[in-house]
Structure 1
Amino acid sequence: MSTKQSDSFTQNRFFWTVFGLWPGKIPNKYYKYFSLTYLIITFVTYNALLTINLYYTPPRIDLLIREIVFFFNEIAVAFKVSMVIFKRKKIAAIFDMLDCDEFQGNDDIGREIVRKHNDYYKKYLTSFTLLCNITYFFLVFSPVFTFVIYENTLELPVCKYYFLSDETRNDYIYLIFVYQSFGMYSHMMYNVNIDTFIAGYIILAIAQIKVLQHDLENLKVDKSDDGSGKLLDLKQQQKLRKIIHHYGFILEYCKEFQDVISGPMFVQYGIGSSIICVSICRFLLPATLETYTFTVTYFLSLHMEILAPAWLGTQLKYESHELMTAAYKSEWLPRSERYKRSLKLFVERVKNPIIITGLKMFPLSLPTYISIMKTAYSCFTLIRILQNRQELEART
């Protein structure tokens, strides 16, 4: 394994750099010009046109659903992009924390735990990137295939720009199609590499907690050690101090990480139920096979954006709470009163597990995810009742 855990985020930083978000620790002045120009064209202008389009969209539910899904998703993307741009120094500082000696593991088992969790993150990154690219393929290239093979009308991948006249839209259809396709791909890669980056931070925090559990459970006198009881007690005291220092470093890591992702996660979870609700409604409308395939993959991607941090946040809370059990498994009975007092203070501290929150208003946990899904289903049920009532009135 590389001695730098931050190398696991190489793909994330690469795509941030390509799409104008990450200039590195020492920004190049030419990169600043590129970043500013790129973001104005593909981010600011793109979202402005999307907002204007939503305003001009005809008040029909089959037309509004598609526009609302992309619009809500762009709100979450905007906050994530702002996180990388305005908190770049804090993110770089956390990368440096991951590369410190305290986070590498003290023995072969500890280093193996760290390596496995880095591998878990890389597999998650690969699978989520693949899923999102499949979604993009069905959205963008399916209309192209039907246009070329069956000579159907070329449909725009994102929105129809209802503020344009039909003549203007048809005259510039190819230019608009390329602009929307490229803009959507860059926004998709923002989402992919920021969402996986957040999940990766939590995965590596879980790895450090598990390393700490291993160190606590093996906090015993080595049989090969020689010396008096006081000397052995002193050695154990030094080992315990090292563990406490490691735990303090983990808390600092989680605190900095919490400060970086708090706002974007609040927005992501805040509008998550709305996005999922609208996506479910899309299944009830008639559509082509390509549209249904896109809707399914897009729905899965939305779930992963919310479920992954929730599941990992729950696991982090559980593993940090298990530090108490690991402390009791250590060899503490024959130790001095001073050692026992230090261990008691540590146990009292770990009674409060590590919890990642969204603006300190709700935890990233499975109960929060379940609450979002319940809210989404309730909204979907309400919309369905209103639809049935409108259909019944239209018939009568």
Structure 2
Amino acid sequence: MDPTKQSYAFNTTVTLWIIFGLWSNKSSNKFYKWYCFVFVALTTALHFVFYTLNLIYTPRKIEIFATQAVYYFSSVSGLFKIGTVLTKQQEILSTFEIIDCKEFLGNCSETKKYLQEFRSTYYRYFRLYLTFCMCCAGVFLCGLPLVNYFFRHEDLKLPVCEYYFLTDEVRKNYIFYWFDYQILGLIVTIVYNATTHTFLCGLILMGITQFKILNFNIANIRLDEDIEINNQEEREQALINKLNQCLKHYDIILKYCENVQNIADVFFFVQFSLAAITICFCMYMLILDLSDKDKVFTTCFISAMLLENYTPSFLGSHLTAESDNLRIAAYSCNWTPCSHSFKKSLILLMERAQRPVVIVALKMVPINLETFASMVKTAYSFFTLLSGAQE
């Protein structure tokens, strides 16, 4: 990606997609396409087949089944994230083109501060989320089994699932191969989840930033001090031109948000639906007789799931609030001495802004804090029902 363009903020994400075989398109050479096919097939598709077989053959004891179900539903969510990148590349590229347009660049020091704040916030969250997931998986799923094997001379346990569809003999004889394969699949899954999740959150954050810039520009519509215009008609025309620039910026933001909606439509619906089930099983695992390390890992896993769903919910609510502030910004500008034509255009803008922007999953579920609260309540209801049935 071009470092001079604003979309370069997502360069790390796209680079990881290229390395991990998710950025194949018509312009890619055939060798890279084959690499993508083989890499995704071996590390994701086959991994998911093993997860499915494992869940089918898992003993029907709730304390065992709950653990395996958590990993299975997480892998299902990961598949939809991969599918989002593979099937929405044209929409993603179109979104990058909008981000790089001149209307999104900012035209003064104040608006450029908003863009700088976006970049620093996105980079910080990307590093935080990826590091947190990698550390939790590295310590609890990879590190502890190896420590127990080499220093405590215990049997090596598979890091993720037990592969119950295998016989004990096959599992034991090839334990290191299965262990290495699960570690590889785990790393790939974490990278896919982290990059896709932070990327979509970054797109919403960019929408928030652009509405902040638009609100600032509208609230501060005035002639530049270094421009001397004595003719009243020319002054009015210059103000109308500035308002028209804001209207054009608003239209582009709406198109941008529509692209984000198309990219994240199915993704967020599946994520929120499966999160309720996964968190339910995780809470049930905490009331079981688990070791301290398993309880700590389960708590970290719940924290990651809550963060994964809270962040887009918070950003979705913030996006709606910023788009709703457009009417306040329009009313705050110095419109009283302006011409009738300017006031008429401003009223039309305020009428259009009466419908704030809302990101909706599958055209049914708004992505906001109310939906997040409903998801948590649903997970707790399932947990209560499950724990009550066991008693």
* Structure 2 counterpart of 1:156: 158
Letter in structure 2 aligned against 1:336: S
Q: Look up the SS of the partner of 2:143 in the other structure.
A: helix
* Structure 1 counterpart of 2:299: 296
Residue 222 of structure 1, CA deviation = 4.1
Say whether residues 1:113 and 2:141 are aligned partners. no
Residue 295 of structure 1, CA deviation = 1.2
* Structure 2 counterpart of 1:394: none
* Structure 2 counterpart of 1:243: 246
* Structure 2 counterpart of 1:392: none
Checking the alignment, whether the CA contact within 8 Å between 1:90 and 1:256 is kept in structure 2 is: yes
Letter in structure 2 aligned against 1:150: R
C-alpha distance after superposition, 1:115-173 (max 9, x if no partner)? 11111111111111111011211212111111111111111111111111111110111
Matches of 1:297 and 1:223, distance apart in 2: 55
Spell out the pairing of 1:36-115 with structure 2 (5 A cutoff): 36-115=37-116
Q: Look up the SS of the partner of 1:151 in the other structure.
A: coil
TM-score between both structures, scaled by the size of structure 2: 0.96
C-alpha distance after superposition, 1:2-33 (max 9, x if no partner)? 64221211221121111110137831211101
Checking the alignment, whether the CA contact within 8 Å between 1:147 and 1:154 is kept in structure 2 is: yes
Q: Look up the SS of the partner of 1:271 in the other structure.
A: helix
Q: Look up the SS of the partner of 2:170 in the other structure.
A: helix
Residue 176 of structure 1, CA deviation = 0.4
Q: Look up the SS of the partner of 2:229 in the other structure.
A: coil
Q: Residue 25 and residue 201 in structure 1: after superposition, are their counterparts in 2 closer, same or farther (change >3 A)? A: farther
* Structure 1 counterpart of 2:192: 190
Matches of 1:296 and 1:24, distance apart in 2: 39
Letter in structure 1 aligned against 2:327: M
C-alpha distance after superposition, 1:81-129 (max 9, x if no partner)? 0111111121112112111111110111111111111111111111111
Q: Greater CA deviation, 232-241 or 66-75?
A: 66-75
Spell out the pairing of 1:1-396 with structure 2 (5 A cutoff): 3-23=4-24, 26-137=27-138, 138-222=140-224, 225-388=228-391
Letter in structure 2 aligned against 1:13: V
Q: Look up the SS of the partner of 1:322 in the other structure.
A: helix
Unaligned runs of 5+ in 2: none
Matches of 2:255 and 2:26, distance apart in 1: 21
Matches of 1:107 and 1:285, distance apart in 2: 58
Checking the alignment, whether the CA contact within 8 Å between 1:131 and 1:297 is kept in structure 2 is: no
Checking the alignment, whether the CA contact within 8 Å between 1:77 and 1:187 is kept in structure 2 is: yes
Matches of 2:37 and 2:300, distance apart in 1: 32
Q: Greater CA deviation, 192-201 or 293-302?
A: 293-302
Matches of 2:95 and 2:25, distance apart in 1: 14
C-alpha distance after superposition, 1:243-263 (max 9, x if no partner)? 000000000111011101101
Q: Greater CA deviation, 128-137 or 20-29?
A: 20-29
Q: Look up the SS of the partner of 1:195 in the other structure.
A: helix
Letter in structure 2 aligned against 1:63: I
Matches of 1:293 and 1:28, distance apart in 2: 45
Residue 264 of structure 1, CA deviation = 0.9
Q: Greater CA deviation, 25-34 or 273-282?
A: 25-34
Matches of 2:151 and 2:6, distance apart in 1: 48
C-alpha distance after superposition, 1:344-385 (max 9, x if no partner)? 000000111110010110110000000000111111111111
Matches of 2:362 and 2:387, distance apart in 1: 33
Considering only aligned residues, what root-mean-square deviation do their CA atoms show, in Å? 1.3
Matches of 1:114 and 1:196, distance apart in 2: 17
Matches of 1:50 and 1:86, distance apart in 2: 23
Matches of 2:61 and 2:324, distance apart in 1: 50
Letter in structure 2 aligned against 1:153: D
Letter in structure 1 aligned against 2:78: V
Residue 336 of structure 1, CA deviation = 1.2
Residue 290 of structure 1, CA deviation = 2.4
Q: Residue 25 and residue 315 in structure 1: after superposition, are their counterparts in 2 closer, same or farther (change >3 A)? A: farther
Matches of 1:134 and 1:299, distance apart in 2: 15
Letter in structure 1 aligned against 2:337: P
Checking the alignment, whether the CA contact within 8 Å between 1:219 and 1:330 is kept in structure 2 is: yes
> Percent sequence identity over matched residues?
33
Matches of 1:44 and 1:222, distance apart in 2: 59
C-alpha distance after superposition, 1:179-203 (max 9, x if no partner)? 0110111011100000000000011
Letter in structure 2 aligned against 1:29: K
Residue 174 of structure 1, CA deviation = 0.6
Checking the alignment, whether the CA contact within 8 Å between 1:83 and 1:261 is kept in structure 2 is: yes
